[in-house]
Amino acid sequence: MKKVIFILGPTAVGKTFFSVKLAKEIDGEIISSDSVQIYKGLDVGSAKVTQEEMQGVVHYAIDILEPEEEFSVFDYVQYTRQKIDEITAKGKVPIVVGGTGLYVRALTEGYNFGGAAKDEELRSHLENLAKEKGNDFLFEMLKDKNPEMAEKTDKANTVRLVRALEIALSDGEKTKSEVDIDPLVIALKRAREKLYFDINRRADIMIENGLIAEVEGLLKRGLTLANQSMRGIGYKEVVGYLQGEYDYDRMIEILKQHCRNYAKRQLTFLRGMDNVNFVEVEDREKAFEEILALANNFLNKK
């Protein structure tokens, strides 16, 4: 099986720094597993990796979609598998980097996609039903067809509700994707108080770098919170401020709190994974030595 290295961890822990440094050392190429950085124009709020930060290392799954487009876990797995094949064929090492847990789990453990390919005609019909009769009507349909799936579906999220019904109404049984890679999972960690300090500072930097103007531009483009791209942390909080739900200071407070909560969820997810190698990154030089040793042992193991 193809060997793939994963560099994971909570927001603001230093994934970009360590992954680029590792890629340069072992001749790797990076595939992002960030569900917001895939979108063009969502740069500030996603803390999108810059050309300068890339240092010439090839990156994939960044700026591949317009912000109006939807991108499911299924889409991500299909895309990433193709890139892993391409990178491996060049004799380079695929390094998956990011913090979106569902993407990582689907690649390393498999994922129940429902056995249904996208059905444009059915989806259009369901979207029209949602407009005419509301999400509650669709949710009752889903509960009737697949109660287990209904429990896991947010009925306020029309896009996900429609996709769940599309799967439930298909002829296929729920199927789990195969895992066709040999993964080395490295999770970066720091003391919580130091991590939270950096998360709060990152939120301030986002505002300083023009997050509000970025969101204003996206709203003028016609995007709303119904779009998948706008539901990322940073974007939805600013939308609330711009729509008068709270004042500027409250927006900053909410933004920082949501970022910290997200980091906590990311760490909980990582602790629940099997065979994770946690690396303390407070001392960056020592941490990189440990990461490089893990990577070399993994790559040299037959």
Mean pLDDT, range 197-221, rounded to an integer:
97
Do residues 104 and 29 share a domain?
yes
Decide: 195 and 273 in contact? Cβ < 8 Å.
no
pLDDT digits 0-9 by tens, 224-233: 998 999 999 9
Do residues 48 and 161 share a domain?
no
Instruction: Count how many domains the chain has.
Output: 2
The reported pTM is 0.81
Do residues 292 and 191 share a domain?
yes
pLDDT digits 0-9 by tens, 10-32: 999 999 999 999 999 999 999 99
pLDDT digits 0-9 by tens, 156-182: 888 888 888 887 776 544 556 678 899
Do residues 128 and 264 share a domain?
no
Do residues 12 and 86 share a domain?
yes
Do residues 94 and 198 share a domain?
yes
Computed over every residue of the chain, the mean pLDDT equals 91
Q: What's the domain range around 216?
A: 2-111+177-300
pLDDT at 27: 98
Q: Kindly report the CATH number assigned to the domain that includes residue 10.
A: 3.40.50.300
Alpha helices in the chain (DSSP H): 15-26, 51-54, 73-89, 101-109, 120-133, 135-145, 147-151, 158-168, 192-208, 211-220, 235-242, 248-271, 284-300
Do residues 195 and 231 share a domain?
yes
Do residues 40 and 189 share a domain?
yes
Do residues 249 and 147 share a domain?
no
Do residues 162 and 292 share a domain?
no
Do residues 162 and 186 share a domain?
no
